[in-house]
Every structure is written in structure tokens, then in C-alpha cells.
């Protein structure tokens, strides 16, 4: 399909590649929505219950803009150094920004400025730091407790995927709930490499139920990426974090 000659909807000076990129992302999003619809149908859920978070790490702000034009309302990033300037550049789009990466306590100040939801709260000290920074900014930051689903590794070892030990999740949830400026939203996890994601997400679902018993408002279950979103939908995910399936390969992942 040629984009030439008609003037198009692109910004003045938009590179010729802009229309192609937009068409590519539009097709990817359509395919993704079909996958989510099918996964929901298979387990009798409504696609309305599932929010797609477009993970835009390593991709430029111009892709975020395309996603917003295509109806995406939620975007995710995993490194503060990249996320902070991108969120600033896209401030006019009215998007919800999700921070999904490992978070050092000393980055809490920066992240609290732009993140609407932090998915990676996995220790009480981080909850305290985020709470202090959210109050200083006069913002409310949503927080999900990240759960380590890898039974073979202590949190932070080897995979660096982070997450609280399932036995510590309620204590971290208590710490979030105790902080003015933070809103406990639920739980998040990444399926361990190599295992059965459905089995791992079933364990996450059980932890999510424990958290909801104590905090009924904490209904979010952030689980599922490009490769395992069907398994996540089958185990009650409310938020999918999707990068590759929307934006194609990003090359070696530095996150």
C-alpha cells in the first residue's frame, strides 16, 4: 500500500517510513487483539476485563505516538533513564505510564514523577521510598507487588527478574497500603524461563486471591507477555504487558 501523494495524516516532515511503521503496528495490534479475544473466549472471559499495556522499551517516542493514535491508552517501560524523557516527550498524549522493570530505591524519586503504576514493588524499603517521593510530588502512584514465581531461584538471583518471595507478598502489600501517596492495585509477575507458564500463573492467581482477601480493591493481576499471554488470560490476568508482538524485535534486550 502506498502512502504517497495523498497528503496523509502524518505530521509535516514525517519521514516516508512513518506511514509504513504505522501500518505495521496497526496490523500487529489487530493480530494481538484477535489473540486476546480468542484467549478470553476459550475461558469464558470478556476482553473488556483485560488491559493491554504496550511495552515500548527500546522503541522511540514516535512509536508511542502511533500506538496512542491506534487507541492504546497504557504504555510500559522498564528503565528509568529511557522512560523519563519518553514520558516527558509524550506528555500531551494523556497515556497511563507503567513502570515494569527492576527498580532501585534511588530511582524512586524520578519514577514517582511520571509513573501512574509501578509493577515491580518487591520489598518494603522500596514501598517506603516510593511513598515518600509520591507525597513530595503530590501524586498518587499505583503499586503492584511483584511476585517471584521461580521456585528455583531466590529473588534477584541469576535471572534478575526480581519479585518478592510468595511468602513475603502480604508484608509488602501491607507496606504499600500503609503509605499515603501509594494505592495498592494488585500483583504482577513474569513467568520463569523454561517452565509451564500456566502452572506459574496459577500460583500467581492464588497469591493474588490472598492479597484481595485483605485488600479487596487490589484486583489487578499483571501477567503475560508476547509469548505467554494466552496462559495468563486463562489464569485471570487483568493486565498484559506486550512488547514484541506489537513492535517487533528489539534486538538484544538490555532490560
Q: Where do contacts with ligand PLP occur on this chain (CB under 6 A)?
A: 55, 57, 78, 100-101, 190, 225-227, 241-245, 255
Residue nearest to ligand PLP (CB): 243
Q: Which is closer to ligand PLP, CB of 56 or CB of 124?
A: 56
| Smallest gap from residue 150 Cβ to ligand PLP (A) | 14
Residue 164 gets which letter from DSSP?
B
Q: Are 19 and 36 spatial neighbours (Cβ–Cβ below 8 Å)?
A: no
Which ranges in the chain belong to alpha helices (H)? 17-42, 61-69, 80-89, 108-114, 124-137, 169-177, 197-214, 229-234, 244-247
Rounded to an integer, what distance in angstroms lies between the CA atom of residue 188 and that of residue 195? Answer: 17
Residues in contact with 138: Cβ distance below 8 Å, sequence separation at least 6, in sequence order: none
Residues in contact with 46: Cβ distance below 8 Å, sequence separation at least 6, in sequence order: 40
Q: Are 104 and 84 spatial neighbours (Cβ–Cβ below 8 Å)?
A: no
Q: Which is closer to ligand PLP, CB of 60 or CB of 227?
A: 227
Residue 41 bridge partners (DSSP): none
Q: Which is closer to ligand PLP, CB of 73 or CB of 244?
A: 244
| Smallest gap from residue 32 Cβ to ligand PLP (A) | 10
Rounded to an integer, what distance in angstroms lies between the CA atom of residue 247 and that of residue 75? Answer: 12
> Cα 126 vs. chain centroid, distance in angstroms?
18
Q: Which is closer to ligand PLP, CB of 77 or CB of 179?
A: 77
Q: Which is closer to ligand PLP, CB of 32 or CB of 134?
A: 32
| Smallest gap from residue 59 Cβ to ligand PLP (A) | 10
Residue 220, H or E segment: strand 220-222
Q: Which is closer to ligand PLP, CB of 73 or CB of 174?
A: 73
| Smallest gap from residue 136 Cβ to ligand PLP (A) | 26
| Smallest gap from residue 142 Cβ to ligand PLP (A) | 16
| Smallest gap from residue 244 Cβ to ligand PLP (A) | 4
Amino acid at each position: 500500500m502506498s502512502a504517497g501523494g495523498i497528503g496523509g495524516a502524518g505530521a509535516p516532515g514525517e519521514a516516508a517510513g512513518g506511514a509504513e511503521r504505522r501500518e505495521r503496528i496497526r496490523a500487529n495490534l489487530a493480530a494481538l487483539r484477535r489473540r486476546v479475544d480468542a484467549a478470553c473466549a476459550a475461558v469464558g472471559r470478556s476482553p473488556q476485563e483485560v488491559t493491554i499495556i504496550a511495552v515500548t522499551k527500546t522503541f522511540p517516542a514516535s512509536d508511542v505516538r502511533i500506538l496512542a493514535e491506534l487507541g492504546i491508552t497504557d504504555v510500559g517501560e522498564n528503565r528509568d533513564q529511557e522512560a523519563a524523557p519518553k514520558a516527558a516527550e509524550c506528555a500531551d498524549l494523556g497515556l497511563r505510564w507503567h513502570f515494569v522493570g527492576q527498580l532501585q530505591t534511588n530511582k524512586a524519586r524520578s519514577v514517582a514523577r511520571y509513573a501512574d503504576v509501578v509493577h515491580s514493588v518487591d520489598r518494603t524499603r522500596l514501598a517506603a521510598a516510593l511513598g515518600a517521593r509520591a507525597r513530595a510530588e503530590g501524586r498518587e502512584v499505583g503499586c503492584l507487588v511483584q511476585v517471584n514465581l521461580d521456585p528455583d531461584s531466590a529473588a534477584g538471583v541469576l535471572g534478575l527478574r526480581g519479585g518478592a518471595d510468595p511468602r513475603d507478598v502480604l508484608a509488602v502489600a501491607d507496606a504499600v497500603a500503609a503509605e499515603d501517596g501509594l494505592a495498592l492495585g494488585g500483583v504482577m509477575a513474569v513467568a520463569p524461563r523454561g517452565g509451564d507458564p500456566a502452572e506459574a500463573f496459577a500460583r500467581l492467581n492464588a497469591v493474588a486471591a490472598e492479597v484481595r482477601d485483605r485488600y479487596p480493591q487490589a484486583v489487578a493481576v499483571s501477567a503475560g507477555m508476547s509469548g505467554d499471554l494466552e496462559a495468563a488470560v486463562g489464569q485471570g490476568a487483568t493486565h498484559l504487558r506486550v512488547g514484541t508482538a506489537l513492535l517487533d524485535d528489539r534486538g538484544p534486550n538490555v532490560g
